[in-house]
Amino acid sequence: MLYRHYFSPIFPTRISVDVGFASQVISQPLNLTGYNMTITRKICLVTGCSNGGCGAALAEAFRDAGYHVFATARSPSKIPQSLHSSPNVTVLALNVTSSQSIAALAKEVGMQTGGKLDVLVNNAGLGLSKPALDTTIDEARKLFDLNFFGVLEMTQAFAPMLVRAQGCVVNNSSVGGYMAFPFTSIYNASKAALTLAGDAWRLELEPLGVRVITLITGGISTKFLDNLQSQPVDLPETSFYHAIKNDIQAQEETVPFGVPPEKFAQDVLRQVERGATGKFWVGGAACMTRVLGWVMTEWMADRVALWQKPFTRKLAMVRREEESSKKTE
């Protein structure tokens, strides 16, 4: 059971932590029959390692730092050849929205490492740019399955290995979980959920000797926007936003304030190696977003959001024109 803290509603300062559970998990006998224990390096597992993304850069950074890396992706063929050909990298298939796939991966990694994992990097994720009124519940659930529930299930599946190694969980969240933008509300919500849950998991796993780092990631120059552009914005003609459908589909060609994924990966590696825990703001404009969150009023935050998404003004103009034409009919 992951949840181990009790917060009394009457005495909010009373906290009871089942610390004994840590020793119980660590002392559990481990059946090593059939295990390949030839890997003597520290072990890191990274999800979402497709070419051109943060995951591939993270896998390369940890490999170069002396780790044996398990690089995973839904389609292993999309993982860079430099990782496929490395003797200190094992490439495996993983669908983080599939319980069966996660369980199979945990079994395979356990067999190859003797049942330990030093670093779990939950990087796999996806964006969604679509009006909330036109987002189907199925679309919203699928995004949460990938961006939130997949992270939770990965952490649960690898918890015994992380506890034995006194390891670290790294969750890649986003500044999008702090600032709301029009037409990305479901994505914003999934990242906000991951950020807040990460804070709670950090407290729950600390007595077990496991650190949790939540990356509040800003602009990274990856294929994230290309992936968004490849997702057609399917709006029915009855949608209130149909008139600006093309504007919603069109994304920035480059990430504002984007930093190279290699620099991002080195910054993350540095935090893991120095024993950090908690939130880490990383990437272009991440720290600026943090400061603005402290000083901006809601009105100011709205102006920033509307500046980033100017086509909302176009929608207002279209609506006014429609109302005006109805009155003249």
Give 30-85 pLDDT, tens digit per residue. Answer: 454 444 555 789 999 999 999 989 999 999 999 999 999 999 999 999 999 999 99
pTM, rounded to two decimals: 0.79
Is residue 241 among the annotated active site residues? no
User: How confident is the model at residue 302, as a pLDDT?
Assistant: 61
Angle at 187 between CA 285 and CA 199, to 5 degrees: 70
pLDDT at position 19 over 50: no
213: closest CA among 324, 58, 74? 58
- What is the C-alpha separation between 251 and 253, in angstroms, rounded? 6
The answer, yes or no, to whether residue 27 has pLDDT greater than 60, is no
Pairing mode of beta strands 15-17, 5-7: antiparallel
Task: Return the number of other C-beta atoms located less than 10 Å from residue 32's C-beta.
Answer: 12
Residue 233 CB-half CA count within 13 A: 25
Domain 30-328 CATH superfamily:
NAD(P)-binding Rossmann-like Domain (3.40.50.720)
Q: Pick the catalytic residue: 187, 190, 221, 241?
A: 187
Instruction: Write down the catalytic residue from 101, 173, 174, 190.
Output: 173
pLDDT at 203 over 70: yes
124: pLDDT confidence band, cut at 50, 70 and 90? Answer: very high
Give, in order, the Cα–Cα distances in Å from 167 to each of 87, 155, 160, 212, 283. Answer: 23, 12, 10, 9, 24
Upper half-sphere CA count for residue 61 (Cβ side, 13 Å): 24
Cβ pair 92, 66 in contact under 8 A: no
pLDDT band at residue 15 using 50, 70 and 90 as cut-offs: very low
pLDDT at 13: 33
Q: Count the alpha carbons within 13 Å of 213 in the hemisphere toward its beta carbon.
A: 26
- pLDDT tier, 255 (very low <50, low <70, confident <90, very high otherwise): very low
Query: What DSSP string describes 163-211?
Result: HHHT-EEEEE--GGGTS--TT-HHHHHHHHHHHHHHHHHHHHHGGGT-E
SS3 77: helix
Instruction: Count Cβ neighbours within 10 Å for each residue of 225-264 and write b for 16 or more, e otherwise.
Output: beebbeeebebeeebebbbbbebbbebeeebeebbebebb
Residue 162 has pLDDT above 90, yes or no: yes
Q: Specify whether 85 is catalytic.
A: no
Write down the domain spans for the chain.
30-328
